[in-house]
Structure 1
Amino acid sequence: MSNALFPNRPRVDAREKVLGTAKYGADFAIGDMLYAMQVPATVAKGQVTTLSIADAMRVPGVVRVLTATDFPPPPPAVPGASPPPPMIVTDITYRGQPVALVVAESIEAAIEGAEAIHPVYASVGFSSVVDAAGVANERAKDVVAGDANAKMANATMRHKAEYVSPAQHHNPMELLSTTAHWQGGVLTVYEGTQSTNLVKGVLMSNLRLDPEQVVVKSPQIGGGFGQKGSVQRQTTLIARAAMLLGRPVKMVVPRGQVFHNATFRPKSRHRIELGSDASGRISAIRYDVDHQASRSGQFGPDYHEHVPQMYGVADYLGTSADIRLDTQDPGYMRCPYPHPAAFAFESAVDELAFKLGEDPVEFRLKHKAEVDPLNGKPLSSTFLNDCIREGARRFGWDKRKSAPGSMRLPDGTQIGWGMGCGAYPVITHPSIATLRVRADGTSRFAVAGHEMGQGIRSMLEQVLIRDLAIDPAGLQLAIGDTSAAPQHTTAGSWGTASGAPVAAEAAAKLNLAMVDLMAGRRIVGNLHQQLAAIRRPYIEIEVSHVGPGQGSKELATLRAGGYAIAGPEYPAFTTFSYIAHFVEVHVEPRTRRVRVPRVVSVVDCGRVVSPRTAESQVRGGVVWGISAALREATDVDPRYGGWLNNDLADYYVAVNADIGEIDVGMIDKPDPLVNPLGVKGLGEVAMSGVSGAVANAIFHATGKRLREMPFRIEDLL
C-alpha cells in the first residue's frame, strides 16, 4: 500500500453543487405528498392539559393533527446511553418542544393549522440558566495523572483564572427536514443526517419495526457540524404520520424551531490553574469545568480529552460537572470539547508565558509531548512543534514586538499578534465496503460515510483512482444509504481515517482478484477493458477494515447498526491530530472594533488524502473560530426559558467582511501506527485553538485580557 503524497485534484462533487443539481433530503419529491408543521410548547416546563384540534381541522387543506394519543409510549431508555428522542408527549421539559403535528395538502395549510392550535398548560417552576435557583450540580469522574496538588504547591510561578464559552447554535444552511414514505410495509426516510444507521435504529425502536422495514437515505447534507449527528425530534413524528396516513409526508423545520429542538453547544465555565518549575516549564495543571446540561441528557463534560496530552505535562487534575437545568439536550458542535477547552487553556498558557517573560512560541516549544500522561503509552506521532515552527516562519513571528500595545498603524490602530494551538483525538470506526467494477466502464463503491460538504466523496475517489485502473467519470460512490452498506455515524473526524483505509484495502483486494481472473493473460487497457475482453460483465469484492485492537466483535456491532469507535487510546499507543494558529488582529482606536486581517494555520493530520478539501476544512474551521471569538452567542430569556436570538438576523456569525487572508499549511507526514495509509482526522482539529489565538492577539494589541467569549466592543472601551 503506497504512502506517497496525493495530488491536489478538484472536488468530485464541485460541478453539481455549483449548478445546484445536488439533491438534499428535502429535495426528494414523491407523488401525492403531504406537508407537516409542528406546534411548539409555549411553556418551559409543565404538562399539556387541554389540546383542541377543532380550529386546525377547519383550515382548508388540513388532513390530520397528530397528538400524543397517536404515538406508542416511548421505549425505555438504555442505562448509560442517551434515550431515544421521545415522540409527542404531554410532559413538557423545555420551551419549544412539539406538542402536536399538523399534516396538510400544502405547507401553507400546515402552517395555518399549526397557528390555530392553542394548548392549555399546567406550568411549573423552571431553571433555564446555569446560575438560577433549582439547577442540579452533578459531578463527573475526575481525570488524574501524577500529583498535580503536590507539584502546584512547589511551583515557582502560578497562574489562575476563569474562562467562559457561551451557548452557541450550529445554523447550517440546510435546515432540518424529514421526508417519509410508507409503502409495501417498508418505511423509506430521506433526511440530511450524519447517522443513517442511528436514525434507522431509533425508528425501529420507536415505531416497533423490523430492520428490513426501514431504509434511511442521506446522499448529501448541507452542513451538519454535529447537529445532524444525533436523531432529530421530528424524524419519528413524520415517519409515524406517513404510516398512519398512507401517503408520503415532508417537513422542513423552521429555523426558530431548530434553535429550540436541535442540540447546541452548551455554555461552559473553565477554571484553570497552571504552575511552572524553575526551568520555566509547566509542571502542574488543575482544571475544573462545568457546563449546562438538560435534566436527563447524556452529553457529559468531557473537556479533558486533549489538554493533559498536548504539552506532555505529567501532573494533571481535571474535574468537571453537569449543571442540569430545563433545556433541550445540548450536544456535539464542531470541535465540541477542544474548542472551548483550547480557548481557555491556550489563553492560560499565554498568560503564564507572559508572567514568566517568555515568548509564546518558544514557551510552547519547550513542551514537546512524547508520552500520554494518563496511561503511560507513547504518542504515535507528535508533529505539533513542526506546526508551530512552520507557522511562525510563514507568519513572520520574528518581527513581533513583545510588549503589549507596542505595534500600531499610522492612524493609531493597535496591532496584535497572537498564537494558539489545538489537538483532537484520532478516532476510527470499523467499515465494511463493497467494490464492483463493470465491463461497461462504470464502477460502484458502497461504504459507510455521509457527505456534509467536507468532501468525503472526493477523498474516496482519490484513493480508488490512484490504486485502480478505472474510469473516474464512471465511478459511483454509494454513501449515507442503509440499503447500500452498513453505516456508521460520520463525526469526530473519523470519516477519512475510517474510509480511506478501507478504500485502499478494497482496491488492493480487487487488483488481486483481477490477477486471479486473468490467469496470466495480458490484455492492454484499464480494468473495464480487460473485463470486456474476457466477456466478464463485472468483478466484485467485499472488504472490511477495523482500527488497532478491533476485530470481528466491532464489525458485528457495525452490521447491527451499533457504535464501535476506537481511539485516541489504542492498545499500544495514543494518537492525536495537532494544529497551530497565528493570528493578527487590528483594534480600531475609537470604535474599538476588532478585525482579523490574516491568519496562518499549520496542521498535522497524518497523510493528507485530498489536499483540496483538507485546505477548505482548515479555512472553514478558522472562520468558525474567529466567529466564535467575536460574534456567536445564543441568549436565553430567563423569564420564559426560550432562546431569544433564534434566527440569523440576531444570531451573529462572521461574514466575508470579517475574514481576511487565511494561509494553510500541512505537515503531511503519515502516522506510522494508526492505519496503513497513515491518515489522522482533520475536520474537528481545524477549529481548535483559533479563539485562543484571537484572545491572545487582542491582549498583545491592547494589554487587556478578555476571558469570556464572544469579545464585544464594550469589552475594549
Structure 2
Amino acid sequence: PPRLRLGADSSGRLLAAIHETRSQTSRHDLFASDYPSITARLYGIGDFRGTQHLTRTDVPTPGFMRAPFEHVSAFALESAVDEIAYATGRDPVALRLDNDTATDPVTGNPFSSRHLAECLRRGAAMFGWAARTAEPGSMRDEDGALVGWGVAAGAYRASAAPGVARLRADAEGRIAVDVTGHEMGQGLCTAVARTVALDLGVPADGIRVGLGDTRSAPQHLTAGSWGTATALAAVHAALRELRTRLGVPDEGPVDVAAAVAATGRPEVAVEAVTRAPGQSVQAVDRLNAGLSAPAGPEYRGFSAFSFVAHFAEVRVVVETGRVRVSRVVSVVDCGRVASPVTALSQIRGGVVWGIGATLREGSEPDARYGGFVNADLADYVVPVSSDIGRIEVAFIDEPDPLLNAPGVKGAGEIAFVGVAPAIANALHHATGRRHRRLPIRLEDIL
C-alpha cells in the first residue's frame, strides 16, 4: 500500500524518509507519476527512498491538473512533519526552519535560490503564530467553535523552455512584442507588457503583446509553470538587442520615437532566441516544430524550485462538525515578481482551489462502467464565495540569479501545493484528530 514513513531524532532533526506511492492509470495507456520529487527535496533529509507504482484500472487515462503530484505529496509529507513536531515537542514552524537546506538532497547541487525559511518567518509574523497554544483543542472562538492553526510548506519545480521574442519599435514610439507563450488567464500578457514598459520607461498602453500566434512567433505547450520564465527570458534578451540596434545605453529610459527616427528607418525589428540553462540547440528545433521542450528542475550545476509557506486557520462547530477556513496567509518565493497584481490573483486562486481540494472536491468512480458519476458541476462540489475567508499573500520577490536573466520562477502551480496539509494540520490542532485522506468531509470530522 502507499505510505510515507519519516524518522527523526529527539530534537526533531529529520534523518530518513520512505515515500512509496501507488497511482492508477488506464488499461490502454500509461500516466507516469512523479510524487517523490518534492518530498525528497523539501527538507535536508539525508537518507531518502522513493518508489512509484502504477496500477492499471478500468477507468479513463488520468490527466494533468494543477500540481497533480506535488499537491498530494505535500499533504503526505507535511502531515507527517507536523506529527514529528508534536512527537518531539517542537513548534511546527521552528522544526521546519531547523530542517531547511541550501543543497538539493537528490543531486547534491545548490538550489538556484531558496527562501523557504524567509517564507516561514514572514508568514508566521503575518499570521500571529506566536499567539498559538500547542495543545489540540485549546483554542476556541467566542461562540464556542474550536479554532485550529496549521502550517505547511510546498515546492514546485522551476521549469523553463526555449522561447522566441520578436520586438518592433516604430518612429511614433509604439512597440509590438510577439513571443512564445499562451495567455490562459494567468497574466502572461500583463507580465510581458510590464517588463517592456519598465525596461524602456515607456507607457504600457503603447505596447502591443502577441501571444499564442504561430504566424508571429513559434509556439509550443504552455504548462507546468514555465510560461512566464520562458517568455520573459526571451523578451529580456530581445530588449537588450533592441537597445543595441538603437544605439542607446543598456539601462535607463529610452525615447523610443527619437531613437528609431535617428536610425533613418520607419521601424527597428529584432529577434531573440533563448533556451533554458544547459539546453542544446535541438530544444529550439522542437520549439520550431511546435513540440514542447521543457527543462528542469535539475540543471547543470544547480536545481531550481519555487517555494511557499501556508498558514491556515479553521473553525469547527462542535455540535455539527462544520468546518470553515476563516483565514489563510501564504508567502511565496517565486523569484522576481514580474506582475504583482496577476501574481497575487494566481496565489489567491490557488489557495481557493486548495480549500476545495481539501474539504470538498472528489471524483466518485462508477464501479459498473469505470466512468465518474459526478462529472458535472451540479454533482462535483467546489467552494463558493461564502466558503472562503480572508486570504493574505506576500512575496519574497528576490530574483533567481541562475535560472534566467529576469530572475523569475513559476508562481502558478506552487500556490496550490501545501494548502491541504496546512488545513489538515489546523484541523488536528482544533480537534486532535489526524486525517489521512482527501477530501476531509463532515463524516471524517464527527
TM range, smaller chain:
over 0.9
Matched-pair contact (CA < 8 Å) for 1:459–1:609: yes
Q: List per-residue Cα deviations over 1:194-252 (Å, max 9, x = no partner).
A: xxxxxxxxxxxxxxxxxxxxxxxxxxxxxxxxxxxxxxxxxxxxxxxxxxxxxxxxxxx
- 1:433 pairs with 165, 184, 204, which one? 165
Q: List per-residue Cα deviations over 1:552-597 (Å, max 9, x = no partner).
A: 2221221122222111111111111100000000001111110011
Matched-pair contact (CA < 8 Å) for 2:41–2:105: yes
Q: List per-residue Cα deviations over 1:35-58 (Å, max 9, x = no partner).
A: xxxxxxxxxxxxxxxxxxxxxxxx
Q: Note if 1:604 corresponds to 2:336.
A: no
1:464 paired residue number? 196
2:242 paired residue number? 510
1:548 paired residue number? 277
1:369 paired residue number? 101
Deviation at 1:645, TM superposition (A): 0.9
Give distance in 1, aligned partners of 2:117 and 2:270.
Answer: 42
- Could you say which structure has the larger radius of gyration? 1
The within-5 A match list for 1:636-647 is 636-647=365-376
Give distance in 2, aligned partners of 1:298 and 1:570.
Answer: 26
Q: Note if 1:581 corresponds to 2:310.
A: yes
Give distance in 1, aligned partners of 2:233 and 2:33.
Answer: 31
Q: Note if 1:274 corresponds to 2:2.
A: no
Q: Note if 1:416 corresponds to 2:148.
A: yes
Q: List per-residue Cα deviations over 1:316-338 (Å, max 9, x = no partner).
A: 01011111112222121111111
Give distance in 2, aligned partners of 1:279 and 1:408.
Answer: 30
1:223 paired residue number? none
- Which secondary structure state, in structure 1, belongs to the residue aligned with residue 303 of structure 2? coil
1:680 paired residue number? 409
- 2:222 pairs with 490, 515, 521, which one? 490
- Which secondary structure state, in structure 2, belongs to the residue aligned with residue 549 of structure 1? coil
Give distance in 2, aligned partners of 1:474 and 1:359.
Answer: 52
The within-5 A match list for 1:222-301 is 270-301=2-33
- Return 273-282 or 393-402, whichever deviates more: 273-282
Deviation at 1:368, TM superposition (A): 1.1
Amino acid at match of 2:266: P
The within-5 A match list for 1:158-177 is none
Tell me the TM-score normalized by structure 1. Answer: 0.60
Give distance in 2, aligned partners of 1:627 and 1:535.
Answer: 58
Deviation at 1:442, TM superposition (A): 3.0
- 1:476 pairs with 208, 211, 225, which one? 208
Q: List per-residue Cα deviations over 1:489-531 (Å, max 9, x = no partner).
A: 1111111111112111111110110118xxx9xxx98313443
Q: Please, which runs of 5 or more residues in structure 1 have no aligned partner?
A: 1-268
Aligned-CA RMSD value: 1.7
Q: Please, which runs of 5 or more residues in structure 2 have no aligned partner?
A: none
Give distance in 2, aligned partners of 1:270 and 1:360.
Answer: 25
Q: List per-residue Cα deviations over 1:82-110 (Å, max 9, x = no partner).
A: xxxxxxxxxxxxxxxxxxxxxxxxxxxxx
1:346 paired residue number? 78
1:654 paired residue number? 383
Ranked by relative contact order (alpha carbons within 8 Å, sequence separation 6 or more), the top structure is 2
The within-5 A match list for 1:319-338 is 319-338=51-70
- 1:311 pairs with 43, 66, 84, which one? 43
Amino acid at match of 2:176: R
Matched-pair contact (CA < 8 Å) for 1:577–1:681: yes
Matched-pair contact (CA < 8 Å) for 1:270–1:341: no
Matched-pair contact (CA < 8 Å) for 2:164–2:231: no
The within-5 A match list for 1:437-452 is 437-452=169-184
Amino acid at match of 1:272: L
Give distance in 1, aligned partners of 2:305 and 2:183.
Answer: 23
1:8 paired residue number? none
1:570 paired residue number? 299
Deviation at 1:439, TM superposition (A): 2.3
Tell me the TM-score normalized by structure 2. Answer: 0.96
Matched-pair contact (CA < 8 Å) for 2:221–2:291: no
Matched-pair contact (CA < 8 Å) for 1:270–1:344: no
Deviation at 1:437, TM superposition (A): 1.2
Task: Count the aligned residue pairs.
Answer: 443
Amino acid at match of 1:714: E
Give distance in 2, aligned partners of 1:572 and 1:496.
Answer: 22
Amino acid at match of 2:437: E
Amino acid at match of 1:400: R
Give distance in 2, aligned partners of 1:451 and 1:525.
Answer: 28
Deviation at 1:393, TM superposition (A): 0.6
Deviation at 1:270, TM superposition (A): 4.2
1:265 paired residue number? none
- Which secondary structure state, in structure 1, belongs to the residue aligned with residue 400 of structure 2? coil
Matched-pair contact (CA < 8 Å) for 1:583–1:697: yes
